[in-house]
Structure 1
Amino acid sequence: MEDKYVLQMENISKKYGETAVLKNVSLNVKPGEIYALIGENGAGKSTLMNILFGMSVIHSTGGYDGKVTIDGQEVNFTSPNDAMKAGIGMVHQEFMLIPGFTVTENIKVGRELTKPGLASKVFGKSLERLDWEKMEGEAQEALDAIGMDIDRHVKVAGLPVGYMQFVEIAREIDKKNIKLLVFDEPTAVLTESEAQRLLSVMKLIAAKGIAIIFITHRLDEIMEVADTMTILRDGEWVETKAIKDTDVVEIAQLMVGRKIEKLVDDDEKPEGLESAPVAVEIRDFRVDMPGEKVKGVDLDIRQGEIFGIGGLAGQGKIGIPNGIMGLFPATGTVTIFGSQINFGKLGDALHKEVAFVSEDRRGVGLLLDESIEDNIVFNTMTVKKEFLKNYAFMKLKDGRRVRSHAQEMINLFDIRCTGSLQKVGSLSGGNQQKVCLAGALTLNPKLLIVSEPTRGIDIGAKKLIMEHLVKLRKEQGLTIIMVSSELVELRSICDRIAIISDGRLSKILSPDAPDADFGLAMSAVRTEGGA
């Protein structure tokens, strides 16, 4: 007898332009099943869910290939409302609640119940009154269904974060035809006890015959509650397995495992790095960067080292360089070559010979309306007062020297442009990134921090940038911190790689450590010898 599935997604493929983000991905979810969908950032999980929910970003970019069926009936949703009518709901990582509304109002918003009154009998249904007694009763039923004792009259704004999550779940459960719930990183903002309670609630929901797609990077949670898992990697299906037939080590390896193709040919490491003096000492470092909070990190980075910092999106790795540079509030201590950074003084890191290539090259790294040459020399002119020439009682830009230096950098990095006076905003992403790096190196720093240096650029530009980082270390002994979401790149050139999870140091690994070790560290699974 053929299994009954509440959801089947068969051979789903999706392209954005020429880029394939999903390639023949299939999954089959049974009623009452907790189905884990696993993969690194960029693996294709969000795109797959966008297709399921009929999001406009899918239909406005050419749609998708493949077939989606609900209870055996083929569907092609064109809006999230279509998915909701078909019995599909989502519990978001970022709450979709109205703070000024009560618990009842948030559960029933959009599905309010009314009762007739004198005015409605005369002037029509639009003047019916809200049936508060019935709405509160149904809200209580939804809360009882997930075992939550929350006062349905209180405003959401006064609730703990964990309770807000449960109100979201109750709102979805209140939809009487609900068949499938998608939980998108539901424990990311919860405490350990709240997360444990949520996992128990998921089991309660599944026991009522409602299927759950559970998207998370926390492998321990998957092992605890899931029945089945599917792993995606680089937009492709990797494996589907029953949880009882696998373990966290295998899942971690499948999640990140891929052939490591070296982006640089020269993989010689300098000798004596282990005994080299400490160049960067980070202690109890905390950064209040929205979405990338750092919650107390200790690191020692040695002189002449290319030190990698990796991890999943939103786990804090981006917060580290932004905190060091004073772009977001930070506490703790960061000492660069014996000199402690003053976080209260904007630009102090630059004055201590730290250069930074930001992940936000258009928002932070570049002056888009200015020329290539001005972007390359701006920080050096400001911080070191170089590229200036004395004119009577003032110093002005030495145009000839600036242009000569900019042309050297254009040639060195193969910046494709019409000349050094071209505005940076008109360059391609890869060439903008090269200008950022040229500007950082013009500072002649002791420490170079590059954050997501290859994001959004083609493979040729990636290779050139990575090769130059290796060359800088080899020829100048430059200490480099490279923050990246691309494990392949980190493992290609770094001497050691720190994995950040939930704002904390999970583990420091050798680039040739097993794939499973990286997957476990990224998933915050504690193993023997972990940090």
Structure 2
Amino acid sequence: MKNGANILQMKNIEKEYFGNKVLKGINLSVRAGEIHALLGENGAGKSTLMNILFGMPVIHSTGGYKGEFLIEGRKVDIKSPKDAMNEGIGMVHQEFMLVPGFTVTENIKLNREILKHNLLSRVFGENLKSLDYENMNKDARKALNTIGINIEEWATIAGMPVGYMQFVEIAREIDKSNVKLLVFDEPTAVLTESEAKTLLSAMKKLADSGIAIIFITHRLDEVMSVADSITILRDGEVVATRDKKDTNVMELAELMVGRKIERIAKSDGKRNLSKGNIMTIKNLKVQMPGEEVKGVNLEIKEGEILGIGGLAGQGKIGIANGIMGLYNSDGEVIFRGKKLKLNSPEESLNNGIAFVSEDRRGVGLLLDTSIEENITITAMQIKKKFIKNYFLFTQLSKSEMRQHSLKMIKELDIRCRGPQQVTRRLSGGNQQKVCIARALTMEPEILFVSEPTRGIDIGAKKLVLDLLLKLNREKGMTIIMTSSELGELRAICDRIAIVSEGRIEGILKPEDSDAEFGLMMAGHYSKLRNREGLEDA
């Protein structure tokens, strides 16, 4: 079947979001019975491409797309998920789309229920038919057996382990009678190792029955285990398509991340990073939904820019949020020889640790207040700055607030009409600079910056990175920068720690090979090293 005709052909697919081209002429073909892996870093365009294929509303509400689709050689126009399902396309999303109060069977057969006559329907008409649970349960059991999972079809979804929920999602798709193509978007991300093996085995069975599968994953060992063909996206373009027999894990890792890296400023050779550790993190665990940290150990050198990278959902975002007390944490954080009290934002701030959140508009800023209020509010609350103390009362020092804000606006080159301008009216890049100004007002020894360039244009990105570099080089500030943009980390960081599955997979230098970065981001580096160690032994 794998050498049969194409089930799907995507030709010259282009997509823009508000002037930013995220897909640049994508061509992709998938044959009947083929498992076609789709690889790429965060932001490479994988999810956007699949959203187009499945007719998701976000695509058509933002101007649609260019290019064409052929299903079994026939040109189709997919404008909604219903159109996709009618064409035999099913999709298992990363976010579960189940009804918690319904049973397994009810979720699998939702909108495709089997009905039967009862006494009332025979008298008053078809609209009063009952659900035929006996036959619906049979269909559900058949779908569950196909993927090799022993869940009771009458069990309720609410309270079920996430791995089981994933299998129910998959069973719902394969129960559809006309299914020709299934898209699996990171299906093993929430599964245990044994559950993942069961799923991969089920995918092979489905492919052997003639169903085509697009398999989106970052786990390269899974790709090499089940895929027939592999396409790698980078920055919205197809950089390579390979048959599995013609490639290997090292090449795939390199293709995923390979790009020209330009260092913003080379080391002048006089930097001294031998002062010792400013912070030591031991077995840090953070319960941040979607970015859970499962036991991070990390040493941060005084005066360095340390990058923290990794794929989405692997835990990199959780590290800074946990240390700053924004999510429940456990473990040890030792700062300048003193054990830091966890789960207390005030404790971190009082100890000279500042944070620029990845959620600029939700957490980082008071959008409807002035620039000067945003810059000074944390220092005002924590360090009682900009407050005059009198015998019986206190009063804000407006003149000190204004003077300091004007200084920060000048130093950080915040483009605005003045310190009284409402922050919401600023561009994304300038809003980010206000966040940094607020953190600097705390006069920190160590600065955590999370996704500092997310959602800002390319010119503003360079200005923000230049600013971080300046703070480090001229003020000696230790900076920990968490980013999904590996190129940016390699541009300004001294070292880069890669997080995979809630732990540090390894630490690299910016100039280390693309293959090493790719292997670490895919969580494959330590496995490969362990395997080599066993072979050497």
- Return the TM-score normalized by structure 1: 0.96
Q: Which amino acid aligns with 1:62?
A: G
| Structure-2 separation of matches of 1:425 and 1:267 | 37
Could you tell me how far 1:267 is from its partner in structure 2? 3.7
1:184 lines up with 2:182 in the alignment: no
| CA–CA separation in structure 2 for the residues paired with 1:33 and 1:128 | 40
Distance change in 2, residues 1:207/1:529 (3 Å): closer
1:429 is aligned to: 428
CA distance in 2, matches of 1:510, 1:355: 25
Deviation (angstroms), 1:3: 5.4
CA 1:311–1:141: 2 relative to 1, 3 Å: same
User: Which consecutive aligned stretches of 4+ in structure 1 deviate over 6 angstroms post-superposition?
Assistant: none
AA aligned to 1:175 is K
User: CA separation in 1, counterparts of 2:513 and 2:13?
Assistant: 31
1:366 is aligned to 365
Aligned to 1:522: 521
Structure 2: how far apart are the matches of 1:424 and 1:270? 39
Is 1:279 matched with 2:273?
Answer: no
| d(CA) in 2 for partners of 1:203, 1:3 | 16
Say if 1:95 and 1:164, in contact at 8 Å, map to a contact too: yes
Counterpart of 1:496?
Answer: 495
Determine helix, strand or coil for the equivalent of 1:407.
helix
Q: How does 1:33-112 map to 2 (within 5 A)?
A: 33-112=34-113
What is the correspondence of 1:469-508 to structure 2 with a 5 Å cutoff? 469-508=468-507
Say whether the 8 Å CA contact 1:280–1:300 is kept in structure 2: yes
User: Per-residue CA shift, 1:251-304, capped at 9, x if unaligned?
Assistant: 010000001123x2454355442x321101000000000000000000000111
- Quote the RMSD (CA, aligned, Å): 1.7
Determine the structure 2 residue equivalent to 1:216. 217
2:147, 2:199 within 8 Å by CA — same for their partners in 1? no
1:420-447 CA-partner distances (Å, limit 9, x unpaired): 1111122111111011111111111111
**Whole-angstrom distance in 2 between the partners of 1:468 and 1:167:** 48
Q: TM-score, normalised by structure 2?
A: 0.95
CA contact (8 A) 1:230 1:241 kept: yes
- Rounded to whole Å, the distance in 1 between the matches of 2:125 and 2:269 is 80
Alignment of 1:54-453 (within 5 A): 54-262=55-263, 264-268=264-268, 270-273=270-273, 275-453=274-452
Structure 1, residues 205-229: CA drift from partner, whole Å, max 9, x if none?
A: 1111111100001111000000001
Percent identity of the aligned residues? 60
Alignment partners' CA distance in 1, 2:343 and 2:458: 39
Question: Structure 2 CA distance, aligned partners of 1:405 and 1:165?
Answer: 53
Structure 1: 5+ residue runs without aligned partners?
none
Q: Return the alpha-carbon distance in structure 2 between the equivalents of residues 363 and 17 of structure 1.
A: 21
Alpha-carbon separation, structure 1, partners of 2:385 and 2:79 = 57
Question: Are 2:234 and 2:257, in contact at CA under 8 Å, matched by a contact in 1?
Answer: yes
User: How many residues were matched structurally?
Assistant: 528
Residues 130-167 of structure 1: per-residue CA shift (max 9 Å, x gap): 11221122222222222333322222335433222222
> What is the distance in 1 between the residues matched to 2:57 and 2:173?
21
Match of 1:458 in 2: 457
For 1:322 and 1:29, the matched residues in 2 are separated by: 41
Once the two structures are overlaid, the 10-residue window that deviates more, 140-149 or 218-227, is: 140-149
CA contact (8 A) 1:93 1:189 kept: no
1:389 Cα shift? 2.2
Offset at residue 529 of structure 1 (A): 5.3
Taking structure 1 as reference, are residues 501 and 100 closer, same or farther at Cα in structure 2, changes over 3 Å only? same
2:429, 2:464 within 8 Å by CA — same for their partners in 1?
A: no
Secondary structure at the aligned position of 1:318 is classed as helix
Change (3 A) 1:3 1:33: closer
Rounded to whole Å, the distance in 1 between the matches of 2:381 and 2:158 is: 45
Aligned pair in 2 of structure 1 residues 266, 110: CA closer, same or farther (>3 Å)? same
Q: Give the unaligned 5+ runs of structure 2.
A: none
Amino acid at match of 1:123: F
Secondary structure (helix, strand or coil) at the match of 1:518 reads: helix
CA contact (8 A) 2:54 2:91 kept: no
Q: Is the 8 A contact 1:413 1:464 kept in 2?
A: no
Q: Is the 8 A contact 1:182 1:212 kept in 2?
A: yes
SS in 2 for 1:241: strand
Which segment is superposed worse, 516-525 or 370-379? Answer: 370-379
